[in-house]
Amino acid sequence: MKTITTGHELALQWDTARRSGAVIGYVPTMGALHEGHLSLVDRAREECDVVICSIFVNPLQFGPNEDFESYPRPVEHDLGLLEARDTDIAFLPGWTEIFPRRERTLEDFGTHVSVPRLSHQLCGRSRAGHFDGMVTESLLFLNLVRPDRTYWGEKDFQQLRIIETLVGNLRLPVTVVRGATKREPDGLAMSSRNKNLSPQARALSPNLRRILQEARARLLDGGSLPAVLDTAREQLTGLGFAVEYLVACEEDSLSEVSVLEGPFPVRLFAAAALHGVRLLDNIPVTEVARG
């Protein structure tokens, strides 16, 4: 595995790979890698000749009071994991390689792309500017890495839909591949922030997915959507979760729905904090086989 820190070195590797006709697969991450990230690396390994994984904690997607400075950065450990999964190139640019004036915000950077129709609901409500910062940096990295295929997790479904829309609308020459959410054996969706859960919160955390699954079962039994969601919110609150949202949305438009009868697949989406640690999850409702 080659570890590369500059766009220039990456371009040289890209030229070599392209000359040999290689298909290039790319997994963008912020590090603190777990099996969720590594499942995307494995998928890229199966489908591509050259696998590139980036680790970069993107300052543009963190709000002023969010955990940009304290976000975990276990670089050596991450590199060991990537090497063990047969990654070809680990791309770890420093902050100033990407943002030469140490830009911290989109305003500092002075350039942005946005997918507004998908960015203001769900997580966009509480994290103003988050998705614009995410999608701007992601486009920058797609331009640097120039992959044929790029791998994104359904765990962050809104993010995935924003990237798919960016790529589709702007005709970026890359295929976006969806990776299923990887979970702990008890059902908790893997996340770099799960380490922040206290033992007590960790023990309660699988209830988020369990309650989503129960809500899905009730809906498929014909339960009324508003009533089922109310019950699920109450259950979570009763267990000590601070529920930010628990809603049903169409998969493509991420528009909230109040009945299940529409023609489009629907998912349940939830964000809830346990003892200050924000957990996210989503499961399909009308496409049960993919859950």
Cβ-based nearer residue to ligand AMP, 37 or 233: 37
- Min dist. Cβ of residue 223 to ligand AMP (A): 28
In SS3 terms, the chain reads as: CEEECCHHHHHHHHHHHHHCCCCEEEEEECCCCCHHHHHHHHHHHHHCCEEEEEECCCHHHCCCCCCCCCCCCCHHHHHHHHHHCCCCEEECCCHHHHCCCCCCCHHHHCCCCCCHHHHCCCHHHHCCCHHHHHHHHHHHHHHHHCCCEEEEEHHHHHHHHHHHHHHHHCCCCCEEEEECCCECCCCCECCHHHHHCCHHHHHHCCHHHHHHHHHHHHHHCCCCHHHHHHHHHHHHHHHCCEEEEEEEEECCCCCECCCCCCCCCEEEEEEEEECCEEEEEEEECCCHHHC
- Min dist. Cβ of residue 154 to ligand AMP (A): 7
Cβ-based nearer residue to ligand AMP, 209 or 233: 209
Cβ-based nearer residue to ligand AMP, 187 or 223: 187
Interaction site with ligand AMP (CB under 6 A): 29-30, 36-37, 39-40, 152-153, 155-156, 179, 181-182, 189-192
**Catalytic-role residue among 34, 37, 77, 275:** 37
Known active-site residue 37? yes
Cβ-based nearer residue to ligand AMP, 30 or 243: 30
Cβ-based nearer residue to ligand AMP, 36 or 147: 36
- Min dist. Cβ of residue 175 to ligand AMP (A): 14
- Min dist. Cβ of residue 262 to ligand AMP (A): 26
- Min dist. Cβ of residue 27 to ligand AMP (A): 7
Q: Which residues are catalytic?
A: 37
